[in-house]
Chains A and B, each alone.
Chain A
């Protein structure tokens, strides 16, 4: 009974340890940026705590769904756009290959200024596409009024654009693979057609050659008998100036 009880406890401990290990296991998604302060660069404390919470939540979703780290920068009259950009650039390790976006928001009394920077974009056939799409998103966000509306528009717009940008390379690869397969199939069909045409020409030629060869061989194999000749003397002269040859029958 005591042994049974100790086995049961051991099993329970092992089960608990494995469950804990599963919980603590590092996730596939890189979350280091979420933990770093530079995912939100707000030296002037423009954001309210609620806005910070909202941004962090959206950043996590964007990272999970599109594997893109979207940082937010905020500046006012005491800081410049370039300062925020420099801080953001410095926060990304040189070896980092992940797609990064910075939404840089200048918050002023009468208006807001938006600009979007990016690093390590997905490779697309059209090299200007990422730039054009993010320029379009900038315009879309910029047209909103008030920081809350700007943030809300940025969440929706960036999510949409990232959905497109993250899927586009896969689609381009599929399209290119399909084109390659079609090209290969067309080439194969062309070669088969050429082979067929060549065979149609070569086969009758070979046949003719074989026929000719067979006929010529059969003609060559027929024995040819040279006539047996016998010289006879003419007027008694065995080797005269001329002679008459007569075949013996």
Chain B
């Protein structure tokens, strides 16, 4: 008789705490973020750049480098250096995000806002301080970042970034952990292809292929800006030197 009374109570006492457990909010997990060293202040990347302008195109370069006439068109070769300033306060992002100065032939041309977080390289925009009023900036900053690289992405993975009044950015992983030799150095890289697509016509405006080496960054990049069906301005960057900041 006693057993009949106690069994349901025991069952209830066993079940009720488990129910309470499922209903309770999950405990917050504190994730300790590792310091991202890729874009640490003082890190610098020097690239050899080759810019090919098709023959019939009227192009005035912003840099003082003489071009060479080739069957493909006018070819300009110059050096581009990118230097990280480390995290800087970016008003529109309401956060401190690494800013990279881009020098072409030792002249500061623009500043890029990049971030490397959770094994992803994020692009937040490009700007330049106004020469007349240094407090004013010209360029664009996006709060929702454009993901340039994702360590965990596999071959065949794709992602895109879209916003109003701008073309759609489509990314896909073409290869993983492949060897590439650049200026005599061999890197293990992931190759990513980016297409900038016109949303109304679905035409590719710009296509870019870049090779990303872990711990170094972009070691090679080839950008084709299409100006007609069979003509493109081709810009190739190849990493000449990567210097880590001295601690």
Contact surface of A with B, Cβ cutoff 8 Å? 111-113, 132, 135-136, 139-140, 142-143, 145-146, 149, 160-161, 163-164, 167-168, 170-171, 193, 196-197, 199-200, 203-204, 206-207, 210-211, 214
A4 CB to closest chain B CB, in angstroms?
53
Q: How many angstroms between the C-alpha atoms of A143 and B234 in the bound complex?
A: 9
A75 CB to closest chain B CB, in angstroms?
16
List of A residues within 8 angstroms of B12 by Cβ: 200, 203-204, 207
Q: Which of B1-19 contact A (CB under 8 A)?
A: 1, 4-5, 8-9, 11-12, 15-16, 18-19
Q: Would A163 and B224 be within 8 Å (CB), given that A139-B204, A145-B71 are in contact?
A: no
List of B residues within 8 angstroms of A199 by Cβ: 11, 15
Q: Would A207 and B8 be within 8 Å (CB), given that A136-B195, A140-B207, A160-B193 are in contact?
A: yes
Q: How many angstroms between the C-alpha atoms of A160 and B190 in the bound complex?
A: 12
Q: Which of B157-186 contact A (CB under 8 A)?
A: 157-158, 172-175
Q: Is the CB of A136 within 8 A of B4?
A: no
List of B residues within 8 angstroms of A161 by Cβ: 174
List of B residues within 8 angstroms of A168 by Cβ: 156, 158
Q: How many angstroms between the C-alpha atoms of A132 and B230 in the bound complex?
A: 17
Q: A161-B174, A164-B193, A167-B154 are in contact. List 15 more A-B contacts (CB 8 A).
A: A111-B230, A136-B195, A136-B204, A139-B207, A142-B230, A143-B224, A143-B230, A143-B234, A146-B71, A164-B155, A196-B22, A200-B15, A203-B8, A210-B5, A214-B1
Binding site secondary structure of chain A: helix
- How many B residues have CB within 8 A of the partner chain? 38
Q: Is the CB of A142 within 8 A of B229?
A: yes
Q: How many angstroms between the C-alpha atoms of A112 and B231 in the bound complex?
A: 11
Residue of A nearest to B5 (CB): A211
Q: Is the CB of B175 within 8 A of A160?
A: yes
Q: How many angstroms between the C-alpha atoms of A113 and B173 in the bound complex?
A: 28
Q: Which of B193-209 contact A (CB under 8 A)?
A: 193, 195, 202, 204, 207, 209
Question: Is B232 in the interface zone, CB < 8 Å from A?
Answer: yes
Q: How many angstroms between the C-alpha atoms of A164 and B190 in the bound complex?
A: 13
> Which of B19, B72, B191, B224 contacts A140 (CB under 8 A)?
B224
Q: Is the CB of A203 within 8 A of B230?
A: no
Q: How many angstroms between the C-alpha atoms of A148 and B157 in the bound complex?
A: 31
A209 CB to closest chain B CB, in angstroms?
10
Q: How many angstroms between the C-alpha atoms of A207 and B19 in the bound complex?
A: 19
A161 CB to closest chain B CB, in angstroms?
8
Residue of B nearest to A193 (CB): B22
> Which of A139, A197, A210 contacts B229 (CB under 8 A)?
A139
